[in-house]
Amino acid sequence: MSELKLPEGIAFDERGLVPVVAQDAASGDVLMVAWANDEALQKTTATGDAHFWSRSRQALWRKGETSGHRLRVRGIRWDCDSDTLLYVVDAEGPACHTGSRTCFGDDAQSAAGGLLELERVIRDRLRRMPEGSYTAKLLERGIDGPLKKLGEEATEVVLAAKGESDERLAEEAADLVYHLMVALGVRGVPLVRVLEVLARRRR
C-alpha cells in the first residue's frame, strides 16, 4: 500500500466532521458518502481500510467490520477548500448495506461498474456452483468449458462484424465478454488487472 496522505488544514465542520466520498478506483463510480472525524482519518491512513464516524451511533466504524465488505483505500484526494475528501478505493464486495454495489443504485454506475458487478456475480456462481446456473454448467469440464465457448463466441463476433446488424454484433460481443470474464474468474485474474493494462496502454 502506498502512503496515504491527508491535506493540511482540513475544514472540519462545527461537529468536527468532514464528508468523505468513496470512489471505485477501477470504474470511477461513486460508491457511498459518509462522515469522518480526525480519529477516523488517522485510522484510515494507518491501516489502509476506510474508517468513518457514525453520527447516529456516535462511534468510529470500519467499513466491512460486520459484512466483510471492506473498502481498501488506494489514495486520498480533497477539494479546493479541503472541506470534502475523496477516498479512491478497491471495494471488497458491495458498498451499500442493501447489498448493492453502490449506494446510489444501479442507474448510477458506469459501464465499467456494470462489468465489475457482473464479475461479482460470476465469482459468486463459481464459489457456490448453484444448480441451474449456466456459469456452473460451463465448468462441468473445468476451464475447458468456458475456453471452448470463448473460441466459439470470438468467431461469432467476427461473423457479426463482417455482415450482420449492429444489434447482432452487440449481442455477440456481450457473449464474448461474458465468457472471457468466466475464464478470468476461473484463473483468479480480477477484471481490474485488465482495466489497468488498458489504462497503461492509453498513455
Q: What pLDDT digit, counting tens, does each position of 44-83 carry?
A: 999 999 999 999 999 999 999 999 999 999 999 999 999 9
Distance of alpha carbon 33 from alpha carbon 149, whole angstroms: 41
pLDDT at position 157 over 70: yes
Give per-residue burial for 74-111: e unless 16+ CB within 10 Å, then b.
Answer: eebebeeeeebbbbbbebeebbeeeebbbbbeeeebee
Q: Which CATH number fits domain 18-91: 3.30.590.10, 3.30.110.40, 3.10.20.810, 3.40.309.10?
A: 3.10.20.810
Residue recorded with cell 476451464: 143
Share of the chain above pLDDT 70, in %: 99
110-202 is classed CATH 1.10.287.1080: yes
Backbone angles phi, psi at 98, to 5 degrees: -80, -10
pLDDT band at residue 203 under the 50/70/90 scheme: low
pLDDT score at 192:
87
What's the CA angle centered on 102, arms 41 and 13, to 5 degrees?
35
pLDDT score at 69:
95
Sheet containing strand 85-91, edge to edge, reads 30-36, 18-24, 85-91, 71-78
Cβ atoms < 10 Å from Cβ of 26: 23
Listed by start position, the domains of the chain span 18-91, 110-202
